[in-house]
Amino acid sequence: MTGRVLPVLAGALMGATAMAGLADAAGKSTYERLSVFGEVLERIERQYVTPPKEDELIENAINGMLSSLDPHSSYMNARDAEDARTQLRGEFGGLGIQVTMEDGRVKVIAPMDDTPAAKAGVLAGDYISAIDGQAIGGLKLEEAVEKMRGPVDTPITLTLTRKGADKPIELTIVRAVIAVEAVKFRVENDVGYLRVISFTERTYDDLEAAIAKIRKEVPAGKLKGYVLDLRLNPGGLVDQAIDVSDAFLDRGEVVSTRGRDPSETRRYDATEGDLTDHKPVVVLVNGGSASAAEIVAGALQDLCRATVLGTRSFGKGSVQTIIPMGDAGALRLTTALYYTPSGKSIQGTGITPDITIEQPLPPELQGKVETAGESSLPGHIQGQSETEQGSGSSAYVPLEAKDDMQLQYALALLRGEKTDPAFPPDQEKAFSLR
């Protein structure tokens, strides 16, 4: 699962003076052990049966050290670090094509509206057989996608096979900035539906725009409320999670983060101004809701602003900081745990819904959908309230809204077709927490 990436806390690779300071702090025994590491590395380089790649050896050694801490600390080489930054920006240089792998071939699901691919004539159902004249058979999907991405304003030629076409089609397309939707929305008759896909730099802006469009489409007197769907959301930037929570709040603590030093505890509060005009809100979560998604669900639940519905969330309550290491890449290090407004850590426990609604699995998926959460990850940080029950649940969401029991239950609550003691939330409790 993708974790919180805080603003950078450290600069480029440390110089000799800083390293000397670290040596003094670490103590003699640590550096005696490092000399053993150096000797092992030298032996491998001189005597291993095949010549090893030194860069890979060092990278794997660093990752081995970090993975012994917890499942979310890791080292990213320069390419991985740039990929992470791209994901968090929510935009990249590319063509605007959604693709999948089918029978070993890269198939276009659909071109995104108003993108270079759509304008050039790429169609849903096309198969990409070559990129810039080079056949891509045998490549992994992510490798093919990487080839299609690149600097803005640079050309790329795709060779497509299309049902009904008697020969391959070649299209030369110029890459542009592709903005990945962080929020999708629609109107379900008299209810606004907001699905937050991930927490990138674009998420709050996308959410604000979506709410404005819903309010424009449905007269205020007829709008029953909102469904905020956080299912299958792996997390992302904590500042975006705070802003998304704030969109539904007028006041109150959203989240706090606590590290090893008590003086580094940070609390983040909501500001005045509820974008939804205090309409009722139901938040959907499942075993695929993690990290930043759990911050939002926990804040709206604890402050009694929304009813949380679904199944127990993943339970990732740790904060990762990205620390640049110069040209070498970056270090992703767990530096704190986050806590909901009531002071509860969800690490290893997850968010427990106010209303539990299990999503039935179709026969072909019985026993095949992941249900384990953070508590099942080897080496995870033990949560303060973790029990044998642990965290996580099914992460299945039907493609069709009519088959989505969790969504349908939420809509029925908002329309008054169903009742539950947890809906609407207890406003007196909310006041006491603020």
Look up 291 and say whether it is catalytic. yes
Annotated catalytic residue within 289, 291, 391, 393:
291
What single string gives the DSSP state of each residue in 25-78? HH-HHHHHHHHHHHHHHHHHHHHSSS---HHHHHHHHHHHHHHTT-TT-EEE-H
Closest CA to 265 of 323, 335, 333, 322: 335
Cβ neighbourhood burial of 55 (10 Å; 0-12, 13-18, 19+): exposed
Annotated catalytic residue within 239, 302, 354, 404:
302
Q: What are phi and psi of 349, to 5 degrees?
A: -120, -40
For 160, residues 6+ apart whose C-beta sits below 8 A from its C-beta are 108, 122, 126, 127, 128, 129, 168, 169, 170, 171
What is the DSSP secondary structure assignment for residue 164, as one 8-state letter? T
Look up 80 and say whether it is catalytic. no
Look up 403 and say whether it is catalytic. no
E strands, 49-190, are: 74-76, 91-94, 97-102, 105-111, 127-131, 134-135, 155-161, 169-174, 176-179, 183-188
Annotated catalytic residue within 316, 318, 345, 393:
316
For 88, residues 6+ apart whose C-beta sits below 8 A from its C-beta are 5, 200, 201, 236, 237
3-state class (DSSP) for residue 218? coil
Task: Give the residue numbers annotated as catalytic, written as ranges.
Answer: 291, 302, 316
